[in-house]
Chain A
Amino acid sequence: SQTIHQWPATLVQPVGSPLSLECTVEGTSNPNLYWYRQAAGRGLQLLFYSVGIGQISSEVPQNLSASRPQDRQFILSSKKLLLSDSGFYLCAWSVDRVIYNEQFFGPGTRLTVL
């Protein structure tokens, strides 16, 4: 069966510090991968998605970036965090096919920027 991992689970970082959040998927090959952000009490905002190694599409311009160095690894980064980067970050995966395209989510990382 497939599982998705995210770490760390929680993170408190000062403004201006770098960020690296990691997401890995097990039990599947060539998944589509996604990063979402959820501000407190708000809906989901898609940040990035990837359909393959090294292929990243950005949905929202910001000071965040994403990379996919391996087939089942997706990393969210920032060189300098802003207060507005605080939120709950969710990684998700889906099977790379047209139908039955539900996404499955990881446990999330709660980021607080002080």
Chain B
Amino acid sequence: AQKVTQAQTEISVVEKEDVTLDCVYETRDTTYYLFWYKQPPSGELVFLIRRNSFDEQNEISGRYSWNFQKSTSSFNFTITASQVVDSAVYFCALSENNNAGNMLTFGGGTRLMVKP
């Protein structure tokens, strides 16, 4: 069965610091997809990125970057020069291929607090 672990329940940083959110997953499938979502205080989950298991290239989008390491089953998320608006709960999720209904397995989330 698949599982997603976000060991950091809460992280506090000061603005402009870099911060990395860890995500470790377990799956028996060779084809799967990994996701990151942001949940700001308003509550709505915002989709950030999707990665498939055959693409281990790291990705950068502005201040956000993602490091996918199949060898360690990790998909970590780094925010560079953090800002107060980055304060949110971040969820990592996994979807196995051919799963009926395209269901996601979510990690427990990491609450990031960026202080001015």
Q: Which A residues fall within an 8 A CB radius of B?
A: 32, 34, 42-44, 46, 49-51, 57, 88, 90, 92, 94-96, 98-108, 110
- 75-116 of chain B: CB within 8 A of chain A: 91, 95, 97-98, 100-104, 106-109
- Distance in Å: Cβ of B111 to nearest Cβ of chain A: 8
Give the residues in chain A near B95, CB-CB below 8 Å.
101
9 A-B pairs in the complex with CB atoms less than 8 angstroms apart = A34-B103, A43-B91, A43-B108, A44-B45, A49-B103, A101-B102, A105-B45, A107-B42, A107-B43
- Distance in Å: Cβ of A55 to nearest Cβ of chain B: 9
B64 within 8 A of A: no
> Are A102 and B101 touching (Cβ within 8 A)?
no
> Within the assembled complex, what's the spacing in Å between the Cα atoms of A106 and B97?
24
- Distance in Å: Cβ of B109 to nearest Cβ of chain A: 5
- Majority SS at the chain B contact face: loop
> Are B101 and A49 touching (Cβ within 8 A)?
yes
Give the residues in chain A near B52, CB-CB below 8 Å.
99
Q: Which of A46, A90, A106 contacts B103 (CB 8 A)?
A: A46
Q: Mark B37-54, 1 if CB is under 8 A from A, else 0.
A: 100001111110010100
> Are A108 and B91 touching (Cβ within 8 A)?
no
Give the residues in chain B near A104, CB-CB below 8 Å.
47
Q: Which of A43, A101, A107 contacts B109 (CB 8 A)?
A: A43
Closest chain B residue to A100, Cβ basis = B50
Give the residues in chain A near B47, CB-CB below 8 Å.
102-105
Q: Which of A44, A57, A92, A106 contacts B91 (CB 8 A)?
A: A44
Give the residues in chain A near B107, CB-CB below 8 Å.
43
- Distance in Å: Cβ of A88 to nearest Cβ of chain B: 6
